Structure 1
Amino acid sequence: MTTTVATAPGTAPGEPTYRILLVEDDQGDAVLVEELLLDTGLRFELIVHGCLAEARAELAIRPVDCILLDLHLPDASGPAAVTAVRRFAPHTAVVVLTGLSETQAGADAMAAGAQDYLVKGKVEADLMHRTVRYAVYRSQTERAILEAQEARLRAEENARLERGLLPRPILGTSTVTVTTRYLPGSERALLGGDFLDVVEADDGLLHVVVGDVSGHGPDAAALGVCLRIAWRSLVLGGHRGPDLLHLMERILIAERGLQTLFATCALLTFDQAAGTATVHLAGHHDPLLTTAADGTREVPAAHGIALGIAPELRSWPVTVIPLPAAGALTLYTDGLTEGHNGDAAGRLGVEGLLTLIDRLPHTDPAAHVDSVIKEAHALNAGRHSDDLAVLRLDWRRR
C-alpha cells in the first residue's frame, strides 16, 4: 500500500479534501494516476492497493470518498469487480479505469453500479477533476435520497404503530374529560412498549388501561399494540378484572414466543354515578388522585404480579377507591418517575412527581399534563429516559 496526501497547485480556497482509494495492480499506471491527480487542482489523499482483498480491508478501517477501480485485478475483473466493490462499499463513489481497446467495458461497469468510467491514456487533468467531483456528488445525492426514502418508510411505520398504541377513546355519554399522552424514550425510536386506552362500554362505565411492556424497540412496541387491541376487544366483550388480566396474560405469552418479555398493567373502571374507581394492578404503580382540597396524592391499592412472570398465580386483587364529587385520577408508566431529579444523583420518584404536579399551575388538564412531562424531562437534563404514557381522568358530578 502507498499513501499520498497532496494539495494540487492552484487548488481553490475551501476545496474539500477527497479521500481516494486507487485499486490498481500495475505500479506504472498507479504512478500515472497520482501524477494526473496532482494536475487536477484537487486537494486529495490517495491510497493505493493492488487487489480487492486489500481494498476491502482498507475500507473496513476507514471509508473513502471515491474508489478508482482498475477492471483487471488479480482477484476480480470486469463488471464482477464493480459488483464486489458495491457490495462492501455501497455508498462510495466508484469510477472505473478501462483500457483503450475495451469499448464496452465502461458501459458494462456503469450498469453494474459504477458512477462513471475513464479510459486510460485518454484522461486529461480537467476530465479527472470533473469525474471525481461529480462521481462523489452523485454518490452523496443517491445516499441522501435513499436515507430520505428510509426515513419516510420509518415515519409511515411509526404512524401505523402509533395508531395501534394511541387509539381514539370510545366515549359515549360520559362527561369525564380524558387526557392521554405518549412519548417514546429515545428521540430516534419509533415507539416503545407502553400502551393505553379508554372505552365506555355498554354498561355505561368508563374502562381504562395503562400498561408497559418490558424492553424497548419494535418487539416491545408490537406486543404493546397487541395487548392494547386485545384489551379493547375483551372489555367490549364483557370481560372484567382478574378474568380480563388472565386472558391478556395468555395473549402475551403466546405473542412473545421465546422472548422473556413481560408487562405491567393497571386496569381502572370509573363509575361516576356511584363515585367509585375499581382498580386492579398487575405489577403497576398506584394511581394518583388530585383534589382541590388535598392536592395530589398516591392512592394505595392492592398489588398483583406483572403479566407473564408467573402465569400460574393468576392473583390480581381488587381495590375500590371512593371518589370525591370533583377531582382527577392519573395513571402513568415509570418513564414519568425514573428520570433524574435535576442535578441530584437520585431519581425523581413518586414523591418528586407529586411535588412537581402540585407546584405547577393547575390550568386545563391537557396543559397541566404537558407541563408535568416537560418539567420532568427538563429535570432529567437530556439523559436517556424510558418510554412514557400518561392517562388522566377529570370529573365533576352535577
Structure 2
Amino acid sequence: MTSAATTLPGARPGEPVYRVLLIEDDEGDALLVEELLHDTGLRFQLTSRASVADARAELAAAPLDCILLDLHLPDVSGTDAVTTVRALAPHTAVIVLTGLSEAQAGPEAMAAGAQDYLVKGKVEAELLRRTLSYAVYRSQTERAGAEAQAARLRAEEMARLERGLLPQPILDTSTVRVTSRYLPGGELALLGGDFLDVVECDDGLLCAVVGDVSGHGPDAAALGVCLRIAWRSLVLGGHRGPDLLHLMERILIAERDSHTLFATCALLTIEEKARTATLHLAGHHEPLLTTSQGTQEVAAAHGIALGIAPDQRDWPATVIPLPDSGALTLYTDGLTEGHNGKTDGRLGVEGLLGLIDRLPPTDPAAQVDRLIEETHALNAGRHSDDLAVLRLDWGTA
C-alpha cells in the first residue's frame, strides 16, 4: 500500500514531505500507525509492506526519509531486522516499533543502528511527530557528517597524490625556467597516472620526464607515483637513456597489478653549455620546440611504451640542437585528444599548434594556463582525460 503525499490542516508552513516506509505485518497496527501519522499534521507519503523481503524494492528505489520498523516480522526479527534494513538503506532514519513487554528491545535496537524507538500502545500523535522529525534530522546530520569526512579524506588523498606526481624541481645552477601543470580528467576526479619531474644532476645535465600510465583511478595514480619516484632516484644515480627506461620498465612490471597496464614517457636530457637536448620516446609523442620563428613539433625517433614488450628494449635517441633562447614543451595526450570545437574530430597536434600561434605573447606560466583554458573551452567537456604539461624555457625571457 502506498499513499499519496498528504497535506493536513495542522501542517506548518514549509513543512517537508516525509517519505515513510512502514514495515509491519499486523494490519491492525499498520492502520493505527497510518491514522497517527494523519493526526501529526505532517506532510507524508506512506508505503506499507509486511516484511523486509517485500520492502526490498522500496529500499533500493527512491530515497526514503524514515523507516518505521516492527521488530517481529515473518522473515527477520529483533536487532537482525535493524541491521538488515540499515544495510539496505544506510542513510535512512530507522524508528523501531516495540511491544509493551519488550523493555530492552528499544535500546538494543538503537545500539544496532536505529535512530529511536516507539512502544506500541503508548504512542500519541505529538510524540510520533517529534520522534519522526528528530530521527530524520539526526539521520541527515549523520549523512552530512559522513559526506564531509569523505570529502576530507578525498582532499587528503589528492594532496598525497599531488606530492607524489607533482614534485618540486631540483635546480641548483641551472638557469632553465620550469613551468608545470597537472589537471585530473574529471572535475571531482583524483589525479590519474600522468607524472612529470625535473632534476639537475651532479654532472650538470638537466633531466626531465613526462609520463602517462594507461587507465585512470587509484591504481594508475599509484603506479604513476612509483615511476616518478623511481625516475628521480635512478637519474640522480647516473642512469640515462635506454638503461634508465629499461630499469623503469622492470619497476613497472613488478609494481603493476594488471598485465594490461603500461606507460608511455618522454625523457629529455639538456646540456645547457652545448645547447643540445637528447630525447628518448617510449610510446610517447614528440615535444614542442618554441623559437623566435614560432612553435613546431620536434621530429624524433620512437620507441615502444614501457610494459608492452619488455624484451625489445629499443629506445633510440634523438639529439635536438637548441637555439640561444627558446622553450621545449612536453605534455600528455590530454592536451590534444579533446574535441576541436566542431563535430568533425579531435584537436590534435595541428590544432594545438594553431592555438599556440594565436596566443598573445606573455610569460610562460600565463601562456601555458591560457593554452589549457583554450583547449578546455573547445572540448566543452566532451572528452575527459588527465593532463600534464611541462615547459622548459631558457635564454632571454
Alignment TM-score, normalising by the size of structure 1 = 0.97
Letter in structure 2 aligned against 1:382: G
Contact 2:337 2:383 in 1 (8 A): no
Cα drift, residue 139 of structure 1: 0.4
Deviation of 1:397 after TM superposition, in Å, equals 7.0
Q: Which moved more, 1:261-270 or 1:55-64?
A: 55-64
Q: Contact 1:278/1:319 (CA < 8 Å) preserved in 2?
A: yes
Q: By how many angstroms is 1:181 displaced?
A: 0.5
**TM-score, normalised with respect to structure 2:** 0.97
Mapped to 2, the partners of 1:240 and 1:162 lie a distance apart of 25
User: Partner of 1:310 in structure 2?
Assistant: 309
Would you say the 8 A contact 2:200–2:207 is kept in 1?
yes
Q: Distance in 2 between matches of 1:246 and 1:362?
A: 40
Whole-Å separation in 2 of the counterparts to 1:129 and 1:145: 24
Equivalent residue for 1:322?
321
For 1:359, the equivalent position in structure 2 comes to: 358
Runs of 4+ in 1 over 4 A off after TM superposition: none
In 1, the alpha carbon distance for the partners of 2:314 and 2:8 equals 78
1:261–1:308 CA contact under 8 A, matched in 2: yes
1:16 alignment counterpart: 16
The letter of the residue matching 1:393 is: L
- Alignment partners' CA distance in 2, 1:257 and 1:267: 25
SS at match of 1:257: coil
1:344 aligns with: 343
State the partner residue of 1:46.
46
CA distance in 1, matches of 2:213, 2:220: 6
Deviation at 1:86, TM superposition (A): 1.3
Deviation of 1:121 after TM superposition, in Å, equals 1.5
- CA distance in 1 between counterparts of 2:331 and 2:383 reads 18
CA contact (8 A) 1:8 1:37 kept: no
Q: Secondary structure at the match of 1:69?
A: strand
Q: CA deviation at 1:287?
A: 1.2
**CA distance 1:181–1:79, shift in 2 (3 Å):** same
Does 2:155 correspond to 1:155?
yes
Structure 2 residues without counterparts, runs of 5 or longer: none
C-alpha distance in 2 between matches for 1:73 and 1:360? 70
Cross-structure match for 1:372: 371
Task: Report the Cα offset of residue 15 of structure 1.
Answer: 2.2
Partner residue, 2:63: 63
Q: Is the 8 A contact 2:339 2:383 kept in 1?
A: no
**Paired position in structure 2 for 1:224:** 224
> What secondary structure is seen at the aligned counterpart in 2 of 1:172?
coil
Report if the CA contact (8 A) 1:186-1:384 is conserved: no
Indicate the residue corresponding to 1:104 in structure 2: 104
Q: Give percent identity, aligned residues only.
A: 79
1:189-230: CA deviation from partner (whole Å, max 9, x where unpaired) = 111110000000011010000001111111111111111111
TM-superposed deviation, 1:9: 3.0
Query: Would the aligned equivalents of 1:279 and 1:319 in 2 still touch at CA under 8 Å?
Result: yes
Counterpart of 1:24, as a letter, is E
How many residues were matched structurally?
396
Contact 2:60 2:89 in 1 (8 A): no
- Cross-structure match for 2:212: 212
